[in-house]
A and B are shown apart, each in its own frame.
Chain A
Amino acid sequence: MKYTKDHEWLRVDGDLVVVGITEHAATQLGDVVFVELPEVETVVAEGDEVVVIESVKAASDILAPTAGEIVEVNVLLVDNPGLVNEDPLGAAWMFKMKLDDLGVLEDFMDEDEYNDLIS
C-alpha cells in the first residue's frame, strides 16, 4: 500500500491501481453522508478533483493522485456513503485507475512515512 499527502491510499491490483482514503482521513471527515464518483473512462491529470465526499460537517474533494484513466468506480458508496467510515481501507475503495506506468507509485509514501506524517 502507498499513501499520498492528501490522505489517499493506493493499492496495486493487477495492472490497475485502487484508490481510497485513509482511516485518518475518514476520522477527520466524520460521518460521511454523500459520495459523488467520477464517470468511468474519464482521463484525469494529477490533482484533478475526481470524487466529492460530504460529511455532516463539510464537503471535501478527493484528487487524482496521478495521471491516468478511471476504469471502475465503487457504486456501493452512492447508496451507502457510511461505508467510508466503516471500512475506509477495504469495502470503501473509491475508484480504480489505469496508469501508463505503475513505476510512478514508487514516488508515494510507504506506511511508515505516512504514519510519520499524521503523527
Chain B
Amino acid sequence: MSELSRLRLHDLHLALGGKMVPFAGYEMPVQYPAGVLKEHLHTRAAAGLFDVSHMGQVILRPKGTHAETALAFESLMPVDVLGLAVGRQRYGMFLGADGGILDDLMFANRGDHIFVVVNAACKAADIALMKAQLSGACDVVPVTDRGLLALQGPGAEAALARLVPGAAAMRFMDVAFLDWNGVQLWLSRSGYTGEDGFEISVPDAALRSFAEALLEQPEVMPVGLGARDSLRLEAGLCLYGHDIDTTTSPVEAGLTWAIQKARRAGGERSGGFPGAERVLHELAHGTRRLRVGLRPEGRAPMREGTALYAGGVQVGSITSGGYGPSVGAPIAMGYVATAPATPGTPLLADLRGKMLPVTVAAMPFHPTTYKR
C-alpha cells in the first residue's frame, strides 16, 4: 500500500476528535466522538458537515465552443451533456467498451466550462481517460488547490445562508459561484445523503476558516464517512466499487433515469458512447439481473457479499448493507435475477450458514427531501 495522502483539514479533523481511517488513498475521518448513529440522525434532523476533499474536481475548458466540448464529453457517457442548461448539474457515468461502469460522477455547465466531480478512488484513471479522449475539444484541468465540503440536512440552507445569503435561492442541482469574505465559493445544491444540501468547493487558503464558520452554526455537526455511507444507503444511492463497477451496466444498476431521451434509441444523438450496443439493447429488452433494495426481516444486518436465494437456487448477492439508523432496521441493496426483482418478493439470505428471510423493497428506504 502506498503512502496515504492527508486532507488539508487533517488537523481540524483531529481537533474535532475524528477517528482517521484509510479510504481511497486518504486518511479520512470515519466518525467523530458523537459516533456514526448520532451523526447520521443529526444530519437528517439538522445539518452535517462532511469533508469530501478526497474527491476529484476537474474543469473541462473548451478550446473551441461549448458544444464541441459537450459533444466530446458525451462520447464517454450515455448522458445528455449538450442539453444541460448553464447553471445546472447532472449525474453521469463513464462506461467501458462493454458497457460496464468505470466511474459515476457529477458534471455542471458553468457557462464557459464544464465542472466535473469524480470519485477519489477513480480520479487518476478518470483524468487520464478525459485527457486521452477530450483533449481535441478542451483542456482537462484537475483542480488541485480547492477542497470540497458537503453540508447536508434540513438545516443546511439556513446555516449556509447566514454566511452566503445567495445559497438560499438555489434549487436542487443548481450550481453557482458565490462570494464569502472575498473568497469565491463554487456551490451545487446536491449531495449524497438524500437530504437537501450543498456541496461547496473552497480555495485551500480559506478551507479551514470556512469549515469552522460552518461548524459555528447551531445546526451543524461534523459527520464522518461512516454516517455518509449509512445516509447514502438509506437514500438508495450507489457506492462505486460496491453497488456499481466495471461488471455492472447502468441498466442493470437501475440508473436508466440518468440516460436521457437524446441518447436512447430514436433520440437525436442516440448511442455514440462506449458500450452503446449493450446499453441500448438492455434498455429495449431488459437485463438478466437488476439492482434492488432489500429489507432483512430480523435485526441482523446483511453485509456486502451475502448470497441471496429463491427456491433453493442462488439468485444474487448483496453489494451494500448495514443498519439504517433512520429506518431503525437493517437495510441492503444488491443484484438479483430479474424475475424475483419485484418489490415484495421474499428471498432467503445465507447469513453465517443460517437462511434468513429478506424481502425485495423499493428504494429509497428513507424519503428524500431535495428542494426542487
Q: List chain A positions with a Cβ less than 8 A from chain B.
A: 30-31, 33-34, 36, 52, 54-59, 78, 81
A-chain residues with CB within 8 Å of residue B230 when the two chains form the complex: 56
Which of B30-38, B72-80, B139-147, B308-316 contacts the other chain? B30-38
A56/B325 in contact, CB under 8 A: yes
Which residue on B lies nearest to A58, using beta carbons? B303
A34/B35 in contact, CB under 8 A: no
Q: How far is the CB of B123 from chain A (nearest CB, A)?
A: 25
Given contacts A52-B352, A57-B226, contact A34 B37 (CB under 8 A): no
Which residue on A lies nearest to B30, using beta carbons? A57
* Size of B's binding interface in residues, CB under 8 A: 18
Given contacts A56-B322, A56-B323, contact A33 B301 (CB under 8 A): yes
B352/A54 in contact, CB under 8 A: no
Which residue on B lies nearest to A28, using beta carbons? B19
B303/A59 in contact, CB under 8 A: yes
Given contacts A52-B352, A56-B37, A57-B36, contact A36 B300 (CB under 8 A): yes
A-chain residues with CB within 8 Å of residue B330 when the two chains form the complex: 33-34
Which residue on A lies nearest to B303, using beta carbons? A59
Residue of A34, A52, A78 near B323 (CB, 8 A) is A34
B372 CB–A CB distance under 8 Å = no
B-chain residues with CB within 8 Å of residue A54 when the two chains form the complex: 300-301, 323
A78 to B30, CA, bound (A): 26
B323/A33 in contact, CB under 8 A: yes
Q: How far is the CB of A64 from chain B (nearest CB, A)?
A: 16
Contact with A along B120-161 (1 / 0, CB 8 A): 000000000000000000000000000000000000000000
Q: How far is the CB of A85 from chain B (nearest CB, A)?
A: 8
Q: How far is the CB of A71 from chain B (nearest CB, A)?
A: 23
A36 to B36, CA, bound (A): 21
A-chain residues with CB within 8 Å of residue B30 when the two chains form the complex: 57
A30/B301 in contact, CB under 8 A: no
Which residue on B lies nearest to A82, using beta carbons? B37
Question: A30-B35, A56-B322, A57-B30 given. 15 additional CB < 8 A pairs?
Answer: A30-B31, A30-B226, A31-B37, A34-B300, A34-B301, A34-B330, A36-B300, A54-B300, A56-B37, A56-B40, A56-B230, A57-B36, A58-B303, A59-B301, A59-B303
B299 CB–A CB distance under 8 Å = yes
B-chain residues with CB within 8 Å of residue A36 when the two chains form the complex: 300
Given contacts A30-B226, A54-B323, A57-B226, contact A78 B36 (CB under 8 A): no
Q: How far is the CB of B15 from chain A (nearest CB, A)?
A: 19
Which residue on A lies nearest to B38, using beta carbons? A31
A52 to B299, CA, bound (A): 12
Which residue on A lies nearest to B301, using beta carbons? A54
Residue of A31, A56, A57, A78 near B299 (CB, 8 A) is A78
A57 to B38, CA, bound (A): 13
Q: How far is the CB of A80 from chain B (nearest CB, A)?
A: 11
A-chain residues with CB within 8 Å of residue B322 when the two chains form the complex: 56
Query: Which of A56, A57, A58 neighbours the largest number of chain B CB atoms within 10 Å of its CB?
Result: A56
B-chain residues with CB within 8 Å of residue A59 when the two chains form the complex: 301, 303
